[in-house]
Structure 1
Amino acid sequence: MKKLSCLTLGLLAATTLATTAQAEIIKIDGSSTVFPVTEAVAEEFQIATKERVTVGVSGTGGGFKKFCRGETDISNASRPILKAEMDICAKSGVKYFELPVAFDALTVVVNKNNNFVKPLTVDHLKTAWAPESQGKVTTWNQLSSSFPKTPLKLYGPGADSGTFDYFTEAVVGKAKSSRGDYTACEDDHVIVQGLSRDKNGLGYLGYAYYIENKNKLKAVPIVNKQGKIVSPSEANVLNGSYNPLSRPIFIYVNQASLQKPEVKKFVEFYMQKSTPLIKEVKYVPLPAKAYKHNLDVIQKGKLGTVFGGEAQVGLTIEELMKREAKL
Structure 2
Amino acid sequence: MKKVKFLAMTAIIGSVLVTATGCGSATNGSSKAEQGATQQLQGEVKIDGSTTVRPIMEAVTEEYRSEQPKVKAGIGGAGTGSGIKKLIAGEIDIANASRAMKEEEKKAAAEKKVDVAEYKVAFDGITIITNKENDWVKDLKVEDLKKLWLEDGTTKKWSDINPEWPDREVKFYSPTNSHGTYDYFDEVILEKKELVTKNVSKSDDPNAIVTGVAGDKDAIGFLGYSYYFENKGKLNALTINGVEPNEKTIESGEYKPLSRPLYIYVNKQSLKDRPEVHNYVKFALENAGVLAQDVGYIQLPKADYDKQVQDVEGLK
Give the percent of matched residue pairs that are identical in Structure 1 and Structure 2: 39
* Number of the residue aligned with 1:247: 260
Does residue 100 of structure 1 match 2:132? Answer: no
Q: Tell me how far apart the structure 2 counterparts of residues 146 and 287 of structure 1 sit (CA, whole Å).
A: 44
Q: CA deviation at 1:94?
A: 1.4
Q: CA deviation at 1:115?
A: 1.5
Q: Tell me how far apart the structure 2 counterparts of residues 244 and 204 of structure 1 sit (CA, whole Å).
A: 14
Q: CA deviation at 1:146?
A: 2.9
- Equivalent in 163, 178, 185 of residue 181 of structure 2: 163
Does residue 122 of structure 1 match 2:135? Answer: no
Q: CA deviation at 1:300?
A: 4.2
Q: CA deviation at 1:24?
A: 7.3
Q: What TM-score, normalized by structure 1, do the two folds share?
A: 0.79
Give the match's secondary structure for 2:86. Answer: helix
Instruction: In structure 2, give the amino acid aligned to 1:164.
Output: Y
Instruction: In structure 2, give the amino acid aligned to 1:146.
Output: E
Instruction: In structure 2, give the amino acid aligned to 1:231.
Output: E
- Equivalent in 161, 164, 167 of residue 146 of structure 1: 164
The RMSD of aligned alpha carbons is 1.6
* Number of the residue aligned with 1:236: 249
Q: Tell me how far apart the structure 1 counterparts of residues 111 and 164 of structure 2 sit (CA, whole Å).
A: 53
Does residue 192 of structure 1 match 2:218? Answer: no
- Equivalent in 48, 60, 64 of residue 45 of structure 1: 64
- Equivalent in 274, 280, 284 of residue 288 of structure 2: 274
Does residue 76 of structure 1 match 2:96? Answer: yes
- The 8 Å contact of residues 60 and 79 in structure 1, kept in 2 or not, is answered as yes
Name the count of aligned residue pairs.
Answer: 271
Which consecutive residues of structure 2, in runs of 5 or more, have no partner in the other structure?
1-41
Which consecutive residues of structure 1, in runs of 5 or more, have no partner in the other structure?
1-22, 224-228, 302-327
After TM superposition, the structure 1 stretch with the greater mean CA deviation from structure 2, 51-60 or 144-153, is 144-153
Instruction: In structure 2, give the amino acid aligned to 1:192.
Output: V
* Number of the residue aligned with 1:11: none
- Equivalent in 211, 218, 222 of residue 229 of structure 2: 211
Q: Tell me how far apart the structure 1 counterparts of residues 251 and 45 of structure 2 sit (CA, whole Å).
A: 32
After TM superposition, the structure 1 stretch with the greater mean CA deviation from structure 2, 245-254 or 269-278, is 269-278
Give the match's secondary structure for 1:275. Answer: helix
- The 8 Å contact of residues 230 and 242 in structure 1, kept in 2 or not, is answered as yes
Q: CA deviation at 1:199?
A: 1.2
Give the match's secondary structure for 1:131. Answer: coil
Instruction: In structure 2, give the amino acid aligned to 1:221.
Output: T
Larger radius of gyration between Structure 1 and Structure 2: 2
Does residue 26 of structure 1 match 2:45? Answer: yes
